Amino acid sequence: MNGKKMDWEAVVKIPFIDEKRLLAAMAPKDELLSDTEKARNDFGVPLKFTYSEDLDFVYPSPLVDVFPPIAHCHCVENIFDLPPVEGLDYRAGLTDGALLNVSALAGFPTLATLPYISSLGFHGVNVFQQDSRNESMIVNLLETEMRTKVDAAKVKLGQRCFVGYPFLQEAKIVKVSDELFDYTLAEDGSGQVVTKHHSNREIEDWSKKADRIENFYSKRLGILIGPVESLVSVHMLKGLIKTDEGATVKEYGEIPGMETEYASQIIVDEVVNEDERFIERAALPLEEEFPIKSVGFFLGDYNYGQPLEVAGYTNGKLSIWLGVLEKREPDFAKRIIHDAQMGMHYLPSYMVAKQLELHPLTLSKITSSYFVRTVGDLRVNLGLNLKFEGKKQKVLGYSRKSETGWEFSPAAVHLIVEYMTRFPDFFAGVKRNPSGAELTETDLWSDPAVAAARVKEIGAWLKMLKTSSMERVPLDAEQLDSEIVMRLAAEADNLKLSGTQSNPKRMNGVPRNALMRPEDAEHRLGNQHFALGDRVVYVASTGKVPIAFRGTVVGISRTPTAKLLDVVFDVTFMSGTTLGNRCPPFRGQTVPSTTLLNLSNKQVVAGSKTQLARQPVSPSVTTLTAHGGYHMNGRRYQDASAPPALQGTWRGAVNGGNRGRGGGQQSQQRGSLPYRPAPHQQQQQQQQQQQQQQQQPDGQGHEYGNGRGRGAGGGGSTYRGRGSRGGYATPPGRGGGRGGGGGGYPSPAGVSAGANGTPQHSTSAPQPGVYAAVPPPSNLDAPRGGRGGRGRGRGRGDGQNWGGRGRGGRGGGGAKQQPQVSASQN
């Protein structure tokens, strides 16, 4: 490669073929050919094939063992006479009317969409890992000072644009940012611009990103865009979608692997010629979109995915002939896949290495490409080629990579064991040099003659295994191995799915969204999800697979712009493949997901109003009734007014309670709804309140819950929780400190402490308009208990009196409680 890093950079030298020697070698064989075969080696005449509806005959197969006959041939074959070219002059150059510069068609890059000048100079453009040493043509964009201003960019929020200059692609601007702020449109649709401040880390990241974009255009593309003062974030055009009303609209979103942020000065607002494939169109009249005798597929829940034919129209809806299956198709694919996967347990690489008593690095080398240099300076691969870390590939049925590392199937372990059994001396040599980057054959065998013989023997054995021809797929690809795929194809043959019969049935009053034309498959099926074993039907009007053919998904792979599915179909067809020797001939094909309708997981069902009415509606929070039921007579909660201001620390508010270092109290409420007693509970709670008014206001902390400190905790507020050294409570209370802490603030009115220290709410229901309007206690400024001495251990209180014993003394008593505070005796 002479230092080249890419395969396409290298130059392959091959000798020119001697034409005379080649013809001389072929001459003796010409006499062995038949007249038909000789005619195929001669020049023929151009042919023209024309479709004719009047013809319908069987065209025999020229290769019976390979291709089936064409049952219904409508083709006419004629000799086509090429037009004469005598007297015509050859024209070098563009023809008149060619669209250039800003008028170039979509897909043709041009620099003319932005004002620029160009010059030849030394700029050090870096394309192949080093700066150019000669002059380069440099493009300098003009008028960038105005376009890079953030005020000019904010006007474009929510509008479409074209990014990737000069290779333009359509996108939609969703965010504008400068060094200090992000600017987005409000989510309420008002059109107001919402500003968000950048943190110090975001400011630093933004500056690096702006420098990277400017440097990329300058050093990689040779385009000087000027200083970057603002960036735009975009959603790329993903394609078109079909609405239920029949209109075709654009869909924007993030595409994995594609850049989403661009400098504002390289954004193109409009182009002259748009891509005609992605033009929004209004809904066509029903008669024009679905003519009589046009075909499509049914998207209703009844016989989902079955072919249909339009028969007429009634009151804005359609009448159709629907092919109804005689019997329901059995669900066999998921069962076969589940049984096969249950019997195949992948083992992590470290466990395999432990079972085979191999060094983990040795196992890693043997299962990948392991090159050994021979005496003749040749590199021989003695690895099993079961994994490819650099290429991010795995081998179906043998290896896979999880979050914890590589894993191997029982088949792979059996192959490694066979390798070790046949060539133990090779593994012994590898074990002596587990960390060697690239060994020579004499490092493994001291005798050169023995080394050469063993390397040749191992290479022949590996060639017999054909490990290099095993199917490799990307690591993120979901694929079934050949054994499972063959079982799926055999089961489809046993069930005779290829001969499934359907009977026509007329249906009236079908809405237009329940019909899908084959031409609209790409627009309506772009958001489907697929899994291995899903039954599908081919619904596109173009492609390699005949329309309405059914099959089973056996592989899923993804690209930055599309999702590809490997499907084994129930019947053979002309362009079918074996999917890499995984399925029977002419049964498999790799197709885009937008050409298939998922029959196992119905995701584009067009339900009628009656079906939608039967679907349960998830109740919101405000639909809960006061009695906790859903019956018609239950009263609904009303929205509460704003809660009072936060008290305590910000950290306590975020964590659900004002906790200090040792923790805090339990939350007053266990849910997000305001507490309001039901009407039938008010009388019972009033009686209970009268019983709870009897209390000892001795100020000794009897009704205070105990916080847990490092020593004997003292009395805290009525909220029982884990306190700290002077921990917080809400309202501000003082938990026990190091030793026996004293009393604290009494609890607020309307909240009482139970026997176990848990808060109890007041029995009186709040009046409308005075929610949480509770006056502060009169003894708010009363003296608190002192801080005790240093405790010897983690003391615990009993919830009513004082905490456990510590080495420090107890603090003084707290303020007396108010009459509104009571302790329940439950």
Is 66 inside any structural domain? yes
Chain-centre distance of CA 76, in angstroms?
49
Q: Which domain range does residue 246 map to? A: 101-278
Please tell me the predicted confidence (pLDDT) of residue 359.
85
Is 228 inside any structural domain? yes
**Cα(676)–Cα(763) distance, rounded to whole angstroms?**
9
Number of compact structural domains in the chain: 5
* Residue of 98, 95, 59 lying closest to 77 (CA atoms): 59
Tokens of residue 693, six digits: 């008014």
Type and span of the H or E element at 170: strand 169-177
Q: How confident is the model at residue 362 (pLDDT cuts 50, 70, 90)?
A: confident
Q: Is the dihedral of CA 225, 228, 230, 231 positive or negative?
A: positive
pLDDT of 261 higher than 80: yes
Q: Are residues 30 and 122 in the same domain?
A: no
Higher-confidence position of 707 and 426: 426
pLDDT of 468 higher than 50: yes
pLDDT of 37 higher than 50: yes
Q: Are residues 492 and 572 in the same domain?
A: yes
Is 654 inside any structural domain? no
Q: Hey, is 666 helix, strand or coil?
A: coil
Please tell me the predicted confidence (pLDDT) of residue 465.
81
Please tell me the predicted confidence (pLDDT) of residue 657.
46
Chain-centre distance of CA 280, in angstroms?
27
The pTM is what? Answer: 0.62
Is 211 inside any structural domain? yes
Type and span of the H or E element at 609: helix 609-614
**Cα(497)–Cα(333) distance, rounded to whole angstroms?**
13
Please tell me the predicted confidence (pLDDT) of residue 710.
44
Which runs of E-coded beta strand occur in 315-363?
Answer: 317-325, 347-348
Region 324-337 average pLDDT: 86
**Cα(535)–Cα(325) distance, rounded to whole angstroms?**
15
Is 718 inside any structural domain? no
- The residue with tokens 């064989």 is 29
Please tell me the predicted confidence (pLDDT) of residue 675.
42
Q: Are residues 63 and 150 in the same domain?
A: no
Q: Hey, is 686 helix, strand or coil?
A: helix
Q: Hey, is 649 helix, strand or coil?
A: coil
Higher-confidence position of 381 and 7: 381
Q: How confident is the model at residue 191 (pLDDT cuts 50, 70, 90)?
A: confident
Please tell me the predicted confidence (pLDDT) of residue 819.
42
Type and span of the H or E element at 350: helix 349-356
**Cα(518)–Cα(504) distance, rounded to whole angstroms?**
20
Q: How far is CA 664 from CA 149, 235, 652, 669, in A?
A: 50, 46, 8, 14
Q: Is the dihedral of CA 491, 493, 498, 500 positive or negative?
A: negative
Q: ∠151-155-159 over CA atoms, to 5°?
A: 145
- The residue with tokens 């848990």 is 758
Question: Phi/psi of residue 452, each to 5°?
Answer: -65, -40
Q: Are residues 116 and 261 in the same domain?
A: yes
Under 8 Å between Cβ of 549 and 537: yes
Q: Are residues 34 and 162 in the same domain?
A: no
Q: Are residues 213 and 267 in the same domain?
A: yes
Under 8 Å between Cβ of 740 and 795: yes
The two counts, helices (H) then strands (E), for the chain are 18, 36
Q: How far is CA 162 from CA 217, 240, 268, 288, in A?
A: 17, 17, 5, 33
Q: Are residues 168 and 243 in the same domain?
A: yes
pLDDT tens profile 629-685: 333 333 434 445 555 554 555 444 444 444 444 444 444 444 333 444 444 455 555
Type and span of the H or E element at 568: strand 563-569
Question: Phi/psi of residue 587, each to 5°?
Answer: -115, -15
Type and span of the H or E element at 399: strand 399-402
Which of 489, 508, 527 is the C-terminal boundary of a domain? Answer: 508
Q: How confident is the model at residue 692 (pLDDT cuts 50, 70, 90)?
A: low
Q: How confident is the model at residue 562 (pLDDT cuts 50, 70, 90)?
A: confident
* Residue of 683, 666, 706, 660 lying closest to 805 (CA atoms): 706
- Enter the DSSP assignment of 662: T
**Cα(118)–Cα(484) distance, rounded to whole angstroms?**
60
Count Cα neighbours of 773 within 13 Å in the Cβ-side half-sphere: 8
Higher-confidence position of 380 and 195: 195
Please, what is the average pLDDT of the chain?
Answer: 76
Q: Are residues 469 and 493 in the same domain?
A: no
pLDDT of 745 higher than 60: no
**Cα(403)–Cα(394) distance, rounded to whole angstroms?**
14
Which of 45, 79, 113 is the C-terminal boundary of a domain? Answer: 79
Is 88 inside any structural domain? no
**Cα(234)–Cα(259) distance, rounded to whole angstroms?**
9
Q: Are residues 191 and 259 in the same domain?
A: yes
Q: Are residues 69 and 127 in the same domain?
A: no
Higher-confidence position of 743 and 339: 339
Q: ∠686-689-694 over CA atoms, to 5°?
A: 150
**Cα(411)–Cα(397) distance, rounded to whole angstroms?**
7
Range in 151-155, 279-283, 401-405, 616-620 with the lowest mean pLDDT? 616-620
Please tell me the predicted confidence (pLDDT) of residue 683.
54
Under 8 Å between Cβ of 401 and 474: no
Please tell me the predicted confidence (pLDDT) of residue 731.
41
Q: Are residues 580 and 469 in the same domain?
A: no
pLDDT tens profile 579-604: 888 899 889 999 999 999 999 999 98
Count Cα neighbours of 563 within 13 Å in the Cβ-side half-sphere: 21
CATH number of the domain at 552, please.
Answer: 2.30.30.750
Q: Are residues 314 and 352 in the same domain?
A: no
Is 561 inside any structural domain? yes
Under 8 Å between Cβ of 740 and 791: yes
Is 726 inside any structural domain? no
